[in-house]
Amino acid sequence: MTLAPQTSRNQFWHEKWEDAAQQPSYFATMGRNSYSISDYFVYLADIVKGLGGVSKHETMLDAAGGCGYLSMYFSPLVKAIDLFDYSISAIERAQQECQNFANINAYQDNLLDFSTTKKKNTQYEKIIVGGVLQYFDNYDEIAAILTNLYMVSASSSRIIVTHNTDLSKKEQHIASYQNLSWSKEKVERAVFEELNHRFWLDFNIIQSIATKIGFTACQLSPINPQLFQANHMFDFYLEK
């Protein structure tokens, strides 16, 4: 195993996500290996609350939606869902898994450009961006993603952005690895990954980027304490 930092965090993770999408475990494809079925439904409940509910008249975008395990839950609750991910393996699996859900359309796209999504000329009322901002390199990339979201969202739309690594909880989270009964090597690897392969985000900076772009609201949304992400991450929603 090499411990050299990568030049681009997103490039480093791309290979990992291609591999994850081929794992037999549904939760492993979502990077949620330790989730129980109860955790999964608690996560979905957080998303519904963060979106302020959903309705049958709304068109949804599941951005960086992996193999479609969030989209399938929302399918009967909304009009239509566009689901994209940059992992071709995830999208091939999503197309297979979502076959019985006629209103889900899965395709490859990248949060950094939204090139395919923009060509659809759809204005989405509800958007999910689940657990992905931590894989980017800097706030310029975050600003590009939020700008893309603004361009494809309808007026009065709501966007939930879940599980963002919280800079104010970084040190406390990294220190907590010392309390685990893991080998020294395993702890070192985990801490290395936390320090080098995750972007720890300051919510205040995100809020100021969102305001400059034109969003009318950018607010924190609670993570249920049952989820381990509640210890070191934050959810937020955007309104246009």
Ligand X SMILES: C[S@@+](CC[C@H](N)C(=O)[O-])C[C@H]1O[C@@H](n2cnc3c(N)ncnc32)[C@H](O)[C@@H]1O
**Residues near ligand X (CB under 6 A):** 10, 13, 17, 30-32, 64-66, 70, 85-87, 90, 110-112, 130-132, 135, 162
CB of 140 to ligand X, least distance (A): 14
The distance from CA 173 to its chain's CA centroid, rounded to whole angstroms, is 20
Q: Based on CB atoms, which residue is closest to ligand X, 116 or 211?
A: 116
Which residue(s) pair with 84 in the sheet?
63, 107
Nearer to ligand X, 70 or 201 (CB): 70
Residue 192 CB, nearest distance to ligand X (Å)? 19
Q: Which is nearer to ligand X, 196 or 216 (CB)?
A: 196
Could you tell me the smallest distance in angstroms from the CB atom of residue 170 to ligand X?
Answer: 18
How many alpha carbons fall within 13 Å on the CB side of residue 98?
A: 30
**Angstrom distances, CA of residue 135 to CA of 73, 76, 78, 164:** 25, 30, 29, 10
111 or 206: whose CB is closer to ligand X?
A: 111
C-beta nearest to ligand X: residue: 130
**Closest to ligand X by CB, 132 or 218:** 132
Least distance from ligand X to the Cβ atom of residue 27, Å? 9
CA pair distance 122, 83, nearest whole angstrom = 13
CA distances from 124 to 54, 79, 130, 240 (A): 12, 11, 16, 11
The 3-state DSSP class for residue 15 equals helix
CB of 3 to ligand X, least distance (A): 22
